[in-house]
Amino acid sequence: MKHPLRIPYIAFLIFFLGSVTPNQGQQVLKKTSTERPLLLGPDEQFGNLFETVQIKAVFPDSKTFADCIPNYPPATILANYEKARQRSDFNLKAFILQQFTLPVKPASGYTSHAGQSASEHMADLWPVLTRPATPRLKEGLQPGSLIPLPNPYVVPGGRFGEMYYWDSYFTMLGLRASGKPALIRNMVDNFAYLIRTVGFIPNGNRTYFLGRSQPPFFSFMVNLLSEIQGRRVLLTYLPELQQEYDFWMDGKDQVTAQQPAYRRVVQLAEGIYLNRYFDDKSTPRPESYREDVQLARHIKNPQPLYRHLRAAAESGWDFSSRWFRDGKNLRTIHTTDFIPVDLNALLVNLEQTLADGYRLKGDLNRSKTYQQLAQQRRTALQRYCWNPKSGFFFDYDFVARKPSTVYSLAGIYPLFVKIATPAQAVAVARKLEQSFLKPGGLTTTLQNTGQQWDSPNGWAPLQWIAIQGLRNYRQLPLASKIKINWVAENLRVYKVSGKMVEKYDVISTAAAKGGEYPNQDGFGWTNGVLLRLLSEK
């Protein structure tokens, strides 16, 4: 017999937050934060049941159960489970399918209509990938892990049925090319809403992402919107830009020479502050639970490994030889030991944007403060991440006190945010052309480890960052080569399959592979970058 639907405590909180003003929401957060987690992930809600379902691989993809929607309050489901599992004929999968509703995979299997061009196909995909506003829960609806948002938004596609942080900036490039400024504004407003209500922008709008963020592109989103609506848009989002910065710098006053790192802040010996990727939790990722547990088997204390895995997920590069101690094996991952060149370049842009915003506001003292902070970070990046002998930018291992030796496309970010010198830009361009440029675009690293953020895979966001970075320094022939190769590969795959996909094998131009899941179709940021490139004169 089915139990009547009831909204559990967590659903009530989400419902309540959706109906209050931002200031009231902050008060709710403060009042509840010391009592219990405001939004619980499914692993926290369902405990042993969640672990059992994931370890026994009830679903081939660990993300499936993390995204399931409970049909009843968690307490009811757990009570039902304790009773049902005592029976000799208990079937775990049948029980789950009765107690939960499976997630719908957006855009999975969507292909073009006969005769459609790639641009027409991608234009048709925007409605397929767009999700409606869900500012509050309807009565009787169980929340699952999805965090409701007040405005429509675009998801990547395939297994990814939520709005992702850094993906969205590159998606917005295509929305602008498609003449959809209102949807860009809606998504920026959603990110501002998340900053106000949960204190930062999580990896995606899922409760199981609340331990981490992603590469901080919010300032780029606001700047993109300002290109459409005018520079004074910065004033609208200045409070959220400040809160985003405060999130990344939280703990700056707690680090010392003896304990140089706290959360995402690292103090170097000279009193210079830079940032790292981190995650506030050290448990298996709910969306990759089985994979994380299997990787940690035979490790006496797996918590550090879980934290490094989660931190790599915050970087967006999950996973890559960038983070491996031996450059080859995932078990040697040590993400939180690195000062990543891409993260800190992005934070320079955030500091510069804050300086611009406070100048527009008339607060010249704070504007000067952020100008100085941006300059300090530029100087530190030059000191710690530039290798003059190699002619390239690298991540810096602050624990080992030496730069990484892994060449990766993270090294192009200083060109993207215009903090490299002209001579450095020439050297980086030379290395890109000699080693990274392939028939299908730029390969992510020069290492082939079987991980998806390594060779031979290429990713749309990194192609855009490289192209724009090179253009910033008048390295136009190489920028053009990368664009031509990448666009040709996207169109080739589209012609063969009728799809735009998440990543591409840029060396052999075979189907891209590697990582924890198959190549996904849709695909938000691929569409965004390709549409932007195709729209150029």
Question: Which residues are designated catalytic?
Answer: 318, 502
Instruction: Please report which helix (H) or strand (E) contains residue 76, including its range.
Output: helix 74-84
CA atoms within 13 A on the CB side of 28: 21
Tokens coding 510:
């075979």
Q: What angle do CA 212, 217, 218 make, to 5 degrees?
A: 90
Instruction: Report the alpha-carbon distance of residue 16 to residue 449 in Å, rounded.
Output: 46
The answer for residues whose C-beta is within 8 angstroms of residue 462's C-beta and 6 or more apart is 409, 412, 442, 444
CB-count burial class (<10 Å; 0-12, 13-18, 19+) for 270: exposed
Instruction: Report the alpha-carbon distance of residue 153 to residue 98 in Å, rounded.
Output: 30
Concatenated DSSP letters of 201-219: --SBSBGGGTT---S--HH
CB 443 within 8 A of CB 433: no
Alpha carbon separation from 30 to 12, 23, 37, 202, 308 (Å, rounded): 16, 11, 11, 18, 29
Q: Kindly report the three-state secondary structure assignment for every residue of 440-490.
A: CEECCECCCCCCCCCCCEECHHHHHHHHHHHHHCCCHHHHHHHHHHHHHHH
- At 67 the three-state DSSP class reads coil
Instruction: Report the alpha-carbon distance of residue 330 to residue 324 in Å, rounded.
Output: 6
Instruction: Report the alpha-carbon distance of residue 47 to residue 194 in Å, rounded.
Output: 26
The answer for residues whose C-beta is within 8 angstroms of residue 306's C-beta and 6 or more apart is 281, 282, 283, 284, 285, 292, 296
CB 88 within 8 A of CB 474: no
Instruction: Report the alpha-carbon distance of residue 448 to residue 457 in Å, rounded.
Output: 9
Alpha carbon separation from 260 to 252, 308, 309, 346 (Å, rounded): 10, 17, 21, 21
